[in-house]
Amino acid sequence: MKFLVINGPNLNLLGRREPAIYGNKSYAALCEHIKATAAALGIEVDIMQTNHEGVIVDAIQDALGKYDGIVINPAAYTHTSVAIADAIAAVEIPSAEVHLSDVDSREAFRHISYVTPVCVVRVTGLGFDSYSEAMKKLLAHLQNNG
């Protein structure tokens, strides 16, 4: 199995950005956490981060035929991007939506997710472990629906 992990805008600022919400660990630490989880699960993983919506759409489209699953934290684009949702739907690669914080308990605008309906898994509010849980659940989904 091979997963693509896509991280959206401002996640590169982890450790500096609102530590009361996102914690004080860096983006590099998140990447190490993801790699360790993937290794433990026997999954190959590629990780990317961008602040640009079109780059995310391109990465999703480019994943076709290369990855078995996508783990995506669209960050602020969760609440605004029909284009990202459309790309996930178009490639039909099983995808997991991830958020470090519990977006459902935050501001009302964060309760809207355009990507939830096109993802097979959604994990929020567990910090770095949101990624671990999403990867486990996505792997189980792929094994059960393979």
Catalytic residue list contains 99: yes
Given the residues 22, 67, 77, 131, select the one marked as catalytic.
22
Catalytic residue list contains 111: no
Half-sphere exposure of 50 (CA within 13 A, CB side): 13
Given the residues 27, 99, 114, 131, select the one marked as catalytic.
99
Give me the active site residues, please. Answer: 22, 99
